[in-house]
Structure 1
Amino acid sequence: MALLKKNIWLLFLFVLLASCTLLIYLSFARWNGMMRHYDELQQGVVKHWYGSFSSVLEQQEGIITLMGKTLLLQQRERNVQNDLDEIMALNPEIFAGFALISTAGEVLELTSNLQSDNLPNLSELPQTRDSFGYAMTTDKMVLGRTYNAPRLVVPARKAIYDKDGQLLGVMTGALKFGSEDGLFGRTQVLGDFNRITILRERDHYIQYATNGQPLADFYSEPMPAIEYERLLAAMKMNRSFDFLHARDSGQALSFERISEDGRGTVRGVALYNERYEFWLISEIEESFFIYQFMHVFAGYLFIMVMFQLAMFFLFRSIDRSEKKQRSVLEFQANHDPLTQLPNRNFLLSKFEEWRANKTEFSLLFVDLDNFKGINDSFGHKLGDELLVRLASRLQKVIQSRDLLIRHGGDEFVMLISDERLEAAENLVANRIFSACENIDVQQKIFSPGVSIGIAHFPQHGQELDELMRAADIAMYDAKRKRNTVRIFQPDLEGKYLLRARIEQLLRGAEKRGEIYMNYQPQVDSSGRLHGVEALVRWNPPELGFVPPDQFVAVAEHSGQMTALGDFIIDNALQEIADIQSSSGRSFCLSLNISVKQLSEPDFADKLQEKIVASGLAFVNVVVEITENILIDDVERMRAVLEQIHAQGIRISLDDFGTGYSSLSLLRHLPLDEIKIDKSFVDHLIEDETALRMARNIVAIGRNYNVTLVAEGVETEAQLECLNQIGCDLYQGYYFSRPLSAEALRCFLDERPL
């Protein structure tokens, strides 16, 4: 049954075979039923004819027996002709005439209607000699050969004996056939297809033959001996009865034989009269049965054909529906429901074809840079519409021979059939980046940016997984700068594996005690401690010390930043609170907050609760953010920062001037502090441009009335230069390396109040 469910046409074939089997069974049953029906009809006809004919013969024999002896003995004393006429008058519809015949065959007396000047001698005529002679050898009535004079008559003769057994003569009576008032005038047949034959056994002459009308010249010749033998053989073939017993007991015998012309088969029923030695036979040619059966069979066939046509159209409808549904399911299985682009399943099925038919091609892994920020800010519905628009644009970027796949989320994969790696890179630079710019969605313009990794077949792998991995590694390297493209290089794999190892080992590191805090002191121009910046450190036994710029980025990308950020805030607040409590000194604590943390809907409330729990004053807590935080969603970030600032917590902008910063940030954000990046401080002395940039940043800070903090101060010359341009606070190795909590306690003891 499972196989039938898989293919509806197998089920249809089963129905067709079942219908054909039913048709054959019904046809076979109908044929047999029809054979039984006509066999019963023929038996009824045969018995009716047999009864009628036998009754007349017995009547004829009785009359002949009673009257013949009287007339032969008293023919001189009586008017024999009148007596014979009176006998015929008893039943003129049947009796055609009577005659008294001498033992020599001469006609002694006859009815008036048979008077002739030329009376035959029955012992001499060929047509009468046999039956006349046979009648004088038996005590039963003997039927003579049928003749037409001018009507069909059958002579019946019986020898007449005196009381001493002496043969007196033969009395003959003629029975009328073949007319409405004749012997069989009112006896019916089943139809013109039904032939009734009265066959004399002794010499095989036919006494009578009709199919509703007497057959022409049936009496002229006897049935050929071979045909008669075939008739008997056909009767003997019926195993349902014993032939001799059935014949002698007057049982109807059913048979089937070859027709006399040899062109077909006839089926019939025969009944034998032992006394008068004749067979009464009813026959129907099988062609009639076939004709009748074909009418019934045509009806059956018509019904079956109509049923099968109905079944065919039903199954075709089901099959089309299933194919349509299967096509829909296959499309859904191989295409992305949102963008209608092929999906990873489709890529898996097509990759082998690409690999078999192309010597070289490029696989591009495309990932949007700022899609999450768009989703979070404007909702997933707009984000979905953006993906649909972008998919349509990307589809126009590639040629018809190329393939674009939505890999999932905001990731796309392209198979580019250009054999030149440089051509694939040029395609990315000139078209894909352009496709990701100025996308109009709901009357808003978006340019999310895109990072792309490229792997080339077969240089970077021959299996799909190998190429995907290589392109993914290149894409992650591109992500470091965003909106750029990278071609896979072998050395990137080492970085990728390290990043994957870091991601694996980082999970649960804070619970295992591998994560700890250091604090970078911040001092004013006189050397007094103003505050500390909390710096997270990780020292796993498997890798050794891992710099923050390596594992923090991994934590953000792998979704571990929330747990890590909570650990940093909790531990830094608690350790600094303990130090301030034990030392009796109050200073600021700067906490670096990532975009993942700020994107949490309840971050501001959670931070407030943590600060309250630690016992630190809100004014002594500084939240440090980088410019990259503002790239994702300025408006949302500003709302969160304003909520934090309203609680008394100070806001510091780190790495100012290195990337996205603009004066509008200073005007719209609640900033209390700007940090001059170490990249400017490093080159203050020898690079006039760096010095000019530092001066500009200080001037901007002064205009916006914010505190200026210089990072990475390592020499006295740098300190003096920064003092001259007007910095407020400093941090760097010139004052102190990052310190553990205990080392910070000692540092405080050594510093003036």
Structure 2
Amino acid sequence: MDTQKGMHSAEHLSIKLLKAVLLCACTLGVLLSLVQVFLDAHLSNADIDRKAREMLAMIHDPASRAAYRLDTDMGQEVLNGLLEMKSVQMAAIHLDDTSKLARVERPIFASRYRLLSDYIFDPIRIYRQPLYSNEPEKEHFGELILSIDTAYEGKAFIQRSVVVIFAGIIRAIAMALLMYLICSTLLTRPMNRLIRHLSSIDPEEPGQQQLPVPEGNENNELGLWVRTANKLLTSINYHQSLRQKAEARIMRLSQYDYLTRLPNRRTLQKQINTFIQKAAKKHENIAILCLGLDDFKSLNAQVNFNAAEHILVKVSDRLRNCIGNKAYIGRLGEDQFAIIQSKIEQPYEAAEMAQSLIKQLDRPFEINGEQLTISATVGITLFPDDGEDVDTLLQQAEFAMIMAKSRSHNRYQFYVATIDTEIRQRKRLEMDLRQALEKRELSLAFQPQFNYQKGELVGAEALLRWNHPEKGLISPDMFIPMAEHSLDIIPIGNWVLENACQQLNKWHLDGHQNLRMAVNLSTIQLQDQNIADRIAFLLNKYQVPPETLELEVTETSIIDDLEASKAQLQNMKSIGVTLALDDFGTGYSSLGYLKQFPFDKIKIDKSFVEDLPDNRENCGIVEAIVQIGKSFGLKVLAEGVETVEQATYLAEKGCQEGQGYYYGKPLSAHDFISLISSQRVLSSNTQEKAGNHEAQGDNND
């Protein structure tokens, strides 16, 4: 179809150009005419005054003589001469004694232009000129008054103005039409011809036909445009063939994972659907296995990005070799794979396949000369027993895998109906958590921290608690990961920080100025660029000394981005708060972190405090951590202290502080202060041994 025919007439460039030119020209013509009218009004105004002054000057002498002589007839005759002027409405000669010597007057001129002219020039203008005697006395004896009706001059002015405005508009329109004709001839018509030629070009082979250069435009912008367009058409023709080849390649890549070269999720869904259709006709069974790598996120943080990708490639190769021709394998997501096993007779066949896949991953992977161990968990669903459509089966396989991971790793799990219920309960719990702050279901509990040298409680760790209205107390191990996954941990973490600072301020105001507060920061909070400013604001708001606020982070929270974490911790340290490394000894490179980051304290994980002092391995680990703390000038706090034997041993080995059920369970703020008020030295032997050990350490130094 012709391009111009398919275009609405109002959309033509020529019509738009004509409208624009006419509008601009008419506007400009009216503006210029108005300027001319304003100038004419100014001149007419001055002309009225000039003529009035001339008339006064013309009759001044005879009027003076008539007034001097008190000759009424002469004065009347002089004034009658002024009535020859149409604009004179009234003239009079007044004497000093307020008597009137002579006066002439006519009615005001009735004009249809009067309303406008009176606004411009005023209806009546009155002029006065004093009368004096002849030289040398020059005695004042009267006044000559002249009243001018401006309607006559106003009528002439308005008529001239109408002519000026209409003439200006007509001139503007004429110039606009002339400009339009010139533009249409030089630009619009050649463009229309080019459009017709463009419409005739075959889109499949655009380079086969060239646009002609309009005659007379070879060396101007239009000619340059045509030559550029021809080059573009040739280039399009060349690249179109390349695009077709690329599309074919993209089509292939869209069906396979770029990294592992396994079929991707979309291709898997199509293949499962094909298997389902065939199996339904032949009444066969299908097993769908969803295999997910265990703790791949932590492994990804442990190695660099390229090494993590290399691991995925090696995993996919092992799985592919293990399966061979017995099943169809594809990649579902980052660390998840799907295996479709068709024509199975019994469910145990799927279990055997899952077990063989898990076993294949037991052997370590060698990456950059380092041996890495990877485990996997498998969820299994069956067609047609568990479902009859692709999405349902895949979802159930993933649910089974998720539930298997929540219980343990390196195992397989068949889908059962209760899994849906468990998943939905978890989802429901996640939704309830989002409203927990608003509904005031969250609270803080405070677990005491004991100083072995001072022999007293010196602070508390703020622990978050969630009292669900239906389920009661929810374990932090369950809802904290939920909050981190959904990013609800940001408002919850801000709430914990503020309430901890507020409570610490209350304790200080009540006379417990030496108490400090420890607060855990999650990985998500540590990534928040505004966390340091938030902490500084709260310290200032509640007038909390910075050194009494202790912020705890774990190794796993800083390994995702070491440089960013270092900068964040440096910002917090500049505020003056205390920084503690929690769960020390359970991560990957603890000594390296102690050198790089500005920590003030390390906390021994409770797993190393268990069975002290009977467990030799734990004793060795605890003693080593205490020595590391001394070497780096860091305080050491032990978590999970539950017996007097553990407390005594830790104090003897130089551990400065302890925390655990031996000193008190997590308490409410009121109960914590009650414990502080009624506290006694938990063990005089503990304090004495700690002091002796400190003195011995000083002597050794």
| Alignment-derived partner of residue 472 in structure 1 | 398
| Alignment-derived partner of residue 682 in structure 1 | 610
| Alignment-derived partner of residue 196 in structure 1 | none
Does the 8 Å CA contact 2:448/2:659 hold for their aligned counterparts? yes
Matches within 5 A, 1:491-506: 496-506=423-433
| Alignment-derived partner of residue 314 in structure 1 | none
Deviation string 1:312-352 (CA, Å, 9 cap, x unpaired) is xxxxxxxx99x999989987886668877544443333224
2:450 to 502, 516, 523: 523
Does the 8 Å CA contact 1:460/1:467 hold for their aligned counterparts? no
Matches within 5 A, 1:183-222: none
The amino acid across from 2:674 in the alignment is C
SS of 1:511's equivalent? Answer: coil
Distance in 1 (CA, whole Å) between partners of 2:259 and 2:352 is 32
Q: CA distance change for structure 1 residues 476 and 655 in 2, over 3 Å: closer, same or farther?
A: farther
| Alignment-derived partner of residue 353 in structure 1 | 274
Distance in 2 (CA, whole Å) between partners of 1:674 and 1:324 is 60
| Alignment-derived partner of residue 316 in structure 1 | none
| Alignment-derived partner of residue 457 in structure 1 | 382
Deviation string 1:345-401 (CA, Å, 9 cap, x unpaired) is 43333224334446353412435845599699999xx89987996797578555356
| Alignment-derived partner of residue 521 in structure 2 | 593
Does the 8 Å CA contact 1:364/1:415 hold for their aligned counterparts? no
Q: CA distance change for structure 1 residues 722 and 448 in 2, over 3 Å: closer, same or farther?
A: closer
Matches within 5 A, 1:582-661: 582-660=510-588
Deviation string 1:254-299 (CA, Å, 9 cap, x unpaired) is xxxxxxxxxxxxxxxxxxxxxxxxxxxxxxxxxxxxxxxxxxxxxx
Q: CA distance change for structure 1 residues 695 and 371 in 2, over 3 Å: closer, same or farther?
A: closer
Distance in 1 (CA, whole Å) between partners of 2:641 and 2:298 is 37
Distance in 2 (CA, whole Å) between partners of 1:370 and 1:603 is 28
Q: CA distance change for structure 1 residues 401 and 643 in 2, over 3 Å: closer, same or farther?
A: farther
Deviation string 1:202-244 (CA, Å, 9 cap, x unpaired) is xxxxxxxxxxxxxxxxxxxxxxxxxxxxxxxxxxxxxxxxxxx
Shift of 1:532: 1.0
Distance in 2 (CA, whole Å) between partners of 1:487 and 1:439 is 33
SS of 1:583's equivalent? Answer: coil
Q: CA distance change for structure 1 residues 402 and 681 in 2, over 3 Å: closer, same or farther?
A: same
| Alignment-derived partner of residue 360 in structure 2 | 430
| Alignment-derived partner of residue 568 in structure 1 | 496
- The size of the alignment, in residue pairs, is 427
Distance in 1 (CA, whole Å) between partners of 2:563 and 2:539 is 25
- Structure 1 residue 670 corresponds to structure 2 residue 591: no
Distance in 2 (CA, whole Å) between partners of 1:561 and 1:448 is 31
SS of 1:537's equivalent? Answer: strand
Q: Higher helix proportion, which one? A: 2
Distance in 2 (CA, whole Å) between partners of 1:502 and 1:422 is 35
**Root-mean-square deviation (Å):** 4.4
Q: CA distance change for structure 1 residues 434 and 644 in 2, over 3 Å: closer, same or farther?
A: same
Shift of 1:719: 1.7
Matches within 5 A, 1:56-455: 342-355=263-276, 356-357=278-279, 359-366=285-292, 369=295, 393=317, 396-397=320-321, 399=324, 402-408=327-333, 411-416=336-341, 419-431=349-361, 438=367, 452-455=377-380
SS of 1:689's equivalent? Answer: helix
Q: CA distance change for structure 1 residues 430 and 374 in 2, over 3 Å: closer, same or farther?
A: closer
Distance in 1 (CA, whole Å) between partners of 2:461 and 2:556 is 19
The amino acid across from 1:672 in the alignment is D
Shift of 1:481: 9.7
SS of 1:723's equivalent? Answer: helix
Q: CA distance change for structure 1 residues 451 and 720 in 2, over 3 Å: closer, same or farther?
A: same
The amino acid across from 2:367 in the alignment is N
Q: CA distance change for structure 1 residues 388 and 373 in 2, over 3 Å: closer, same or farther?
A: closer
SS of 2:528's equivalent? Answer: coil
| Alignment-derived partner of residue 542 in structure 1 | 470
Q: CA distance change for structure 1 residues 326 and 468 in 2, over 3 Å: closer, same or farther?
A: same
The amino acid across from 1:581 in the alignment is L
Shift of 1:688: 3.1
Distance in 2 (CA, whole Å) between partners of 1:523 and 1:375 is 35
Distance in 2 (CA, whole Å) between partners of 1:482 and 1:620 is 40
Percent identity between the aligned chains? 30
Deviation string 1:398-424 (CA, Å, 9 cap, x unpaired) is 535644444356644333568342333
Does the 8 Å CA contact 2:320/2:329 hold for their aligned counterparts? no
SS of 1:539's equivalent? Answer: strand
Does the 8 Å CA contact 1:565/1:597 hold for their aligned counterparts? yes
Shift of 1:637: 2.8
Does the 8 Å CA contact 1:470/1:488 hold for their aligned counterparts? no
Does the 8 Å CA contact 2:449/2:457 hold for their aligned counterparts? yes
Does the 8 Å CA contact 1:338/1:384 hold for their aligned counterparts? no
The amino acid across from 2:446 in the alignment is Y
Q: CA distance change for structure 1 residues 338 and 727 in 2, over 3 Å: closer, same or farther?
A: closer
Does the 8 Å CA contact 2:290/2:336 hold for their aligned counterparts? no
- Structure 1 residue 509 corresponds to structure 2 residue 427: no
Shift of 1:630: 4.2
Distance in 1 (CA, whole Å) between partners of 2:580 and 2:350 is 48
The amino acid across from 1:698 in the alignment is V
SS of 1:564's equivalent? Answer: helix
Distance in 1 (CA, whole Å) between partners of 2:362 and 2:502 is 49
Q: CA distance change for structure 1 residues 376 and 721 in 2, over 3 Å: closer, same or farther?
A: closer
Q: CA distance change for structure 1 residues 468 and 389 in 2, over 3 Å: closer, same or farther?
A: same
Distance in 2 (CA, whole Å) between partners of 1:610 and 1:618 is 10
Matches within 5 A, 1:681-720: 681-720=609-648
Q: CA distance change for structure 1 residues 603 and 472 in 2, over 3 Å: closer, same or farther?
A: farther
Q: Runs of 5+ in structure 1 lacking a partner?
A: 1-319
SS of 1:658's equivalent? Answer: coil
Deviation string 1:621-673 (CA, Å, 9 cap, x unpaired) is 21212233244344443333233223322221222233435433333332221
| Alignment-derived partner of residue 487 in structure 1 | 413
Shift of 1:558: 2.8
Distance in 1 (CA, whole Å) between partners of 2:406 and 2:630 is 33
Shift of 1:482: 9.8
Distance in 2 (CA, whole Å) between partners of 1:713 and 1:493 is 40
Shift of 1:543: 1.3
Does the 8 Å CA contact 1:539/1:545 hold for their aligned counterparts? yes
SS of 1:545's equivalent? Answer: strand
Q: Runs of 5+ in structure 2 lacking a partner?
A: 1-240, 682-701
